[in-house]
Amino acid sequence: MTALDTNVLVRLYADDDPEQVEKARSVVNAGPSLVSDTVLLEFKWVIGSSYNATHEQMYDAIEALLHVPNMHVTDRRRICQALEGMKGGASSGRCLPSRLC
């Protein structure tokens, strides 16, 4: 299983550099991969701060990661709980760290 770096997830989200996006897709499609809690938090922070993602866009991006074939998160139950909190209107800044750290 390959551990994915924040940069891979950001490239997939941003879809702004065809060469880098293709490399990121190749890594993800090569086989089972793992996204750690830390990488997920960094991903949320980067898309919010550098790509101005809204609360809803951050929710959608994280939820989409849970549906990528062969992509696993460290603790799916906690991630789903954090997403439920976000869906209920809780700040992603408070919800994700409190459930992941």
Number of domains making up the chain: 1
The H or E element that residue 6 is part of is helix 6-14
Determine the Cα–Cα distance for residues 14 and 28; give it in Å rounded to an integer: 15
For the segment 55-76, the average pLDDT, to the nearest whole number, is: 89
Angle made by CA atoms 4, 6, 58, in degrees to the nearest 5: 115
Please give the pLDDT value at position 22: 97
pLDDT grade for 31, boundaries at 50, 70 and 90 = very high
Q: Which of 84, 88, 83 is nearest to 44 (CA)?
A: 83
Q: What is the pLDDT of residues 33-62, one digit of tens each?
A: 999 988 998 999 999 999 999 988 998 999
74, amino acid identity: T
Give residue 51's domain range. 2-100
Shortest CA distance to 11 belongs to which of 3, 19, 2, 20? Answer: 20
pLDDT at 97 over 60: no
Backbone dihedral region for residue 79 (phi beyond 0: left; psi -120 to 50: alpha; all else: beta): alpha
